[in-house]
Structure 1
Amino acid sequence: MSGAPQEALVGALGAGRMGRGIVLAFALAGREAVLLDIKPREREALAKLKAEAEAELRASLATLVELGVVKAEVVEAVVSRVRIVGRDEAPAWLGRLGLVFEGVPETVDAKREAFDYACRFLPEDALLASTSSTILSTELAALVTRPERFLNAHWLNPAYLIPLVELSPHPGTAPDATRRMTEMLEAVGKVPVVCAAQPGYIVPRLQSLVMNEAARMIEQGVATAEDIDKATRYGFGIRYAAMGVVEFIDFGGADILYYASGYLAKALDDSRYACPPIVERKMAEGNIGLKTGEGFYDWRKVDQPAYRRQALARLTELLRMNELLPPDGERRG
């Protein structure tokens, strides 16, 4: 597969919120991007859609200006990098694209129609990705021509602001396609991760468990919504922003997770809290994390005092940004 350059023209197929967020992400990074609406529309309806899409782009940019993320003087330049085109113009633009993100409604029929249309005009070496949050790349790959260039790319809203993009190739995706997609996303400041074609990607699978447990605790009278949210913002969330979940297991030790899980499973009489077999294997092998040199990560060549200091520094910086640092030790009043 020939490699499209990192500066290849980018398009979003589907002019809804996800498509708008994606083209804005690229425009903010100085890239030209095309928002393609391929639904047959009367001229007046298309004009209304274009106006609504541009208004949303400008509203998002106005918020970023207000928050000090971008300067007011760059807004017009950013907006000018986005072209919004309808079905009549779409074929010519599709023929120029090196990377396309499909973001039409979450039905197989809608995606089949979009892929049928796009694949008629796309260059053979153009990368094609679906932003689907529910339909696996293994299923969608059958709907495209040259499936070796296809994978899922799951963005989190707002797409122009959240760095993460979860890439999910199917078994037939060419490794070069995943590499090129990764490079293109990194070039505009995104943080791509790769996961297998399984339901839920990474983030939705984790967050669904957390959100359901929060609702369950309210139902059981464990805590109020307000206190659960305080606990999340000032304890749970800020720690995992400074350190990844798996890194945190190794940092404290898988033994802590193992014993805490066993206690909760028994005390709450709920097998949901039991450890998975991989944690039990780590315990049996004695590879429980940082303190033993091996865990989910290999820590044997890591300068542990330096690493611990870096981890604390990341947490401290997050606390400082949120004005949550502890008192400085001086007497007050």
Structure 2
Amino acid sequence: MASARPVIACVGAGRMGRGIAHCAAWAGHDIRLVDAKQRDAEGYARLEADTFDEIRSTLEMIAGLGGFDAAHVDAILKRVSVVPREKAGEALADARIVFEAVPETDEAKRDALALIDAAAGPEAIVASTTSTYLSTQLAALSGRPARFLNAHWLNPAFLVPLVELSPTHETDRAVVDELKTLLEAIGKVPVECAASPGYIVPRIQMLAMNEAARMVEEGVASAEDIDKATRYGFGFRFAVLGLLEFIDWGGGDILFHASRYMAEVTGEKRFEAPTLIHENMEENRRGLRDGRGFYDYDGMDVAAYRRQRMEGFMAMLRMAGLDRPPAVAAPEKSN
């Protein structure tokens, strides 16, 4: 019996398309991967085999890690179809969501979006998975700008929960809401951002990764110690507290003064605090202790909030295998 869930399709059967297929099929959707390239029979057969092999291997890996019963792998795979380009019309006709996941070139994007516009139904939502192009650039290549947006999945797509949605001013609000609802239903965490280079996560991580490389270059620390510091300090904190939440948690004044010091001693403008941090200082919006910062804490049970976040830190310690019982003094010997 066919699934009652909306059909999902993806033009492009590479790594990203396969990751999306894994997620969609896992959640009970029929998912059709349309080959974006024209191939001969032998080339298509090889692509189809490689696609199913890769999706099966990821499912079996997750099952092997205790994620689910491996007996369900075959049933999940039955929801996945790989379709040659010449049958795109059949594959996309009833798809509610069509993702574009082709290489990051003008030619590939233009071709894939034209294929989707010609083959998909008029009500289908079209979402590019690009990590490079602005949604405003690609919307101009789509024949349905009101039903188009970017949906940037982070690799590995079958594991990382986040999907960054970037609509344009032409995107229908109902389209954004519908895609967010679908993504949440399959276990993802969608966020929205404007059409800006680097989205949210790539923009932040680009700065962090370049700074880490500079520290190796400058002899500040070894690659091993920088990565250890990242895992057990930077990553540990920000797996529980968001970056802006952390500013409020410790106090925006700490960032303000630390930024000024770093900019002065290094002579590097990249360490200067943005205007918003200066404004928050002037307006006494320094975070939790002022009752407002990037977030408004008015009426919040701050003690309960702190406890909840501390529970998150304790869970991180347990996951890292670093939670230990306290040392207990040995009882004194009696004479």
Q: Which moved more, 1:263-272 or 1:201-210?
A: 263-272
The aligned amino acid for 2:18 is R
1:272 is aligned to 270
1:117-266 alignment, distance < 5 Å: 117-266=115-264
Aligned residue pair count: 329
1:320 is aligned to 318
2:71 is aligned to 73
Runs of 4+ in 1 over 2 A off after TM superposition: 326-332
Overall identity of the aligned pairs, in %: 49
Unaligned 5+ runs, structure 1? none
1:96 is displaced (CA, Å) by 1.1
Distance between the aligned counterparts of 1:44 and 1:248, measured in 2? 54
1:330 is aligned to 328
1:57 is aligned to 55
Distance between the aligned counterparts of 2:265 and 2:64, measured in 1? 49
Q: Would you say the 8 A contact 1:6–1:187 is kept in 2?
A: no
The aligned amino acid for 2:187 is G
The aligned amino acid for 1:33 is I
TM-score (norm 2): 0.96
Distance between the aligned counterparts of 1:133 and 1:328, measured in 2? 47
The aligned amino acid for 2:144 is R
1:6 is displaced (CA, Å) by 9.0
Distance between the aligned counterparts of 1:120 and 1:301, measured in 2? 53
1:85 is aligned to 83
1:324 is displaced (CA, Å) by 1.6
Q: 1:211 to 1:6 in 2, by over 3 A?
A: farther
1:293 is aligned to 291
Q: Would you say the 8 A contact 2:130–2:150 is kept in 1?
A: yes
- Deviations along 1:58-99, one digit per CA (max 9) or x if unpaired, are 111121122111221111111111011111322111101000
1:331 is displaced (CA, Å) by 4.7
Q: Which moved more, 1:320-329 or 1:168-177?
A: 320-329
TM-score (norm 1): 0.96
Q: Would you say the 8 A contact 2:5–2:28 is kept in 1?
A: no
Secondary structure (helix, strand or coil) at the match of 2:86 reads: coil
Secondary structure (helix, strand or coil) at the match of 2:22 reads: helix
1:30 is displaced (CA, Å) by 1.7
Q: Which moved more, 1:189-198 or 1:88-97?
A: 88-97
1:14 is aligned to 12
Q: Would you say the 8 A contact 1:6–1:184 is kept in 2?
A: no
The aligned amino acid for 2:243 is V
Unaligned 5+ runs, structure 2? 331-335
Distance between the aligned counterparts of 1:198 and 1:183, measured in 2? 23
- Deviations along 1:289-317, one digit per CA (max 9) or x if unpaired, are 11001100001111111111111111111
